[in-house]
Chain A
Amino acid sequence: MAASVVTWAGLAAFGRACGSIRSRLLGSSSTLSQVSCLHTSTELNSKHWERKNLVVYPPQQKDELRRPAEIYHCRRQIKYSKDKMWYLAKLIRGMTIDQALTQLEFNDKKGAKIIKEVILEAQDMAVRNHNVEYKSNLYIAESFSGKGKYLKRIRYHGRGMFGIMDKVHCHYFVKLVEGVPPKVEQKTGFDQAKEYVEQLRNRTIIHSL
C-alpha cells in the first residue's frame, strides 16, 4: 500500500466503495464466526500473544510424558514491512534455535537483525523464568509477522497531485518449544504420483451388480 496517484473526486468514490465492501465483509465474517465458534484463529492470536506466557498447567503425574516448555515472545511496531518480514519468518520456521540464529546472522536483510534480537531475548527469558534447562534445546515452533499501526504521510506528485504514503510497521511473533524439532516428511514427486495412481485404481462403481 505505497503511494498511488489519485484524483480528488476519485478518492472520495473509492472511500465510499471501500466502506460498503468492508461492511458487507464484516457481516459475512460475523455470521461465519458464529457458526464455527470453536478454535478460530482470528488474526493468528496476535492480540494476546503476551498473555500466553501466563498459562499455568497443573502438576503432572510421574508416569506422564514430560510436557515440553513453550515460550511466547513478540516485538511490536517494528519499522519494517510485514511482507518483507514474512520471508525471514518463513525461513526460520521449524529450525533449531542455534541454526536459526546462524542463518539470521548471515542474512543481509534489515529484519534479520531484529528477529535475532527477539529470539535471543526469548531464549534468555526461557532459561531464567520458564525453567528451561538447556538453552540450545529449543526450536522455533511458530514464527510469523503481522501488520502494525501505519503512519500516513503525503507523497507529492507532479501537477498538484498527491498520494497518501504509508509508513509501514509490523509485529513479529515467535514461539519457542523445548526439545528436538519434529521431522517434516519430505514427499517426493514419485510418492505423490504413486498415491495418485493408487487413488485411480481404488475407484469402483457403487450399487453395481
Chain B
Amino acid sequence: MATSICRTLKYLQPTICLNIKPVFVPIRTKKRYFIPPAVNVKQKSQSEQETKARAAGVVVRQQYIERAINISCTAGIFDPYIPPEGDARLSTLSKEGLKQRTEQLRQSAASQLAFRKIKDHDNEFSTKEFPALAQQIFIDAHAALTQFNKEKLHSLVTERCYPEMVRGNRYKTLRWRFIESLEPPRVVHARCPDMISKGNLYGQVTLRVHSRQTLAIYDRFGRLMLGDEDEPRDVLEYLVLERHLVNPYGRWRLHGKIVPAWAPPKDPIIKTVIIPGPTLKPEEAFEDLHYQVPKPKAVQWYK
C-alpha cells in the first residue's frame, strides 16, 4: 500500500509542474527494520564530545566544588574542663587528684573572665539561673532524639553535636527517661574562644549534672540491644553548652559531653562480638601465641 502511494506521487509530479525538472523521489522510504542505536555510534573521545555539545548549543552549568563551613558553632571544646578524680565517689586523695585540684584553681580564674565576657554580650545570663535552663535543654534534646524530631533537635543541639547523637540511630528505637536530678546542677567551667577573626566570640559553659536516667536501645527488629527500660541508673555527666555570643539570635545549645579518664567502663552490648585477632601463619596455633586483648588507655575524651 505504501509503495503504491509513492509511485503515484512520482507520476503526479511531472504532470502538475511542467517547467520544473522532475524530482526523483525514492520509493521505499519507510523504515522497515530495527537497527539497535548503538551500532552506528562511533566511539567519541572526550574532546570530540565537548565540541559536538558546544556546536549543538548544549550548555553544561559550571560545577562548584564547595565544602560547606558551618559558622554557627565551633568544631570542638576548647580548654576542656578536667573533672576532679573521685567526684561523687568515695575517694582516696591520690597524687593525680592533687594535681587536678591545682589545675582547677588555675582554671577558675579564667572561668571568671569568661563569665564576665558572656555577661557583656548576653544580659540575661546568670550563674544561678543558667543550670536549670541548661538541664531543661538537655532533657528536651534527648526527648527529641527519642522521637527523632529533626527540627527541634537542631534548635537544641549544635551542628557539631548532632551527628554524634544521631549516628547509627536512624533505624533503631531509643527509649530514654529522665527520672530525677540527684544533685542540683551547677556550672563548673566556662571559656570564650574566638574563631578566625578576633571579635567572633563563642561562649562554652560546662555544667555538672548528677541524675537518674533509664535508657534502652532496640534495634531494627525491636530486639533489645542495650540497657533496660525499668532499671534506673545514676549518671554523673559534664555537659558543654555553647552559644554564638556575637549573633543576636544565638541560643544556648548542647555542644558535647566530657567523659573523664576515671569514668567506669560502659556496659557491654547484649550480643557477642568478634574482636579481630592476629593473622596466623599456617604453622602457628592461636593458643601458643598467648594473645592479650588490648585494653583502651584511660584518657579523658569528649563526645
Contacts and interface: CB of A to CB of B under 8 A. Distances in A.
Contacts of A60: 218, 221-224
A59 B32 contact: no
A11 B221 CA distance: 53
A133 B36 contact: no
Contacts of A6: 33
Contacts of A55: 220
B32 A57 contact: no
Contacts of A162: 33
A130 B220 contact: yes
Contacts, number: 67
B168 to A, nearest CB: 9
B177 to A, nearest CB: 14
A21 interface: no
Given A133-B271, A133-B272, A57 B221 contact: yes
Contacts of A24: none
Interface in A102-140: 130-131, 133-134
Interface in A29-82: 54-60, 66-70
Interface residues of B, number: 22
A11 B34 contact: yes
A131 B219 contact: yes
B33 to A, nearest CB: 5
Given A133-B271, A133-B272, A56 B34 contact: no
A153 B171 contact: no
A54 B222 contact: no
A68 B219 CA distance: 12
B38 interface: yes
A66 B221 CA distance: 9
A190 interface: no
A56 B171 contact: yes
B219 A154 contact: no
B223 A54 contact: no
Contact of B38 (A54, A70, A134, A153): A153
A154 B173 contact: no
Contacts of B39: 153-154
Contacts of A67: 221-223
A56 B171 CA distance: 6
Contacts of A58: 173, 222
B173 A56 contact: yes
Nearest to B31: A12
B220 A57 contact: yes
Interface in B150-204: 171-173, 175
B220 A56 contact: yes
A133 B33 CA distance: 58
Contact of B32 (A12, A70, A133): A12
Interface in A134-179: 134, 151-154, 162, 164
A209 interface: no
B32 A54 contact: no
B275 interface: no
A55 to B, nearest CB: 7
Q: Which 6 A-B residue pairings sit nearest by Cβ, starting from the closest?
A: A152-B36, A131-B219, A133-B271, A59-B218, A60-B222, A57-B222
23 contacts: A9-B32, A15-B34, A54-B171, A56-B171, A56-B172, A56-B220, A59-B218, A60-B218, A60-B221, A60-B222, A67-B221, A67-B222, A67-B223, A68-B221, A69-B219, A69-B220, A131-B225, A131-B271, A134-B272, A151-B38, A152-B38, A153-B38, A154-B36
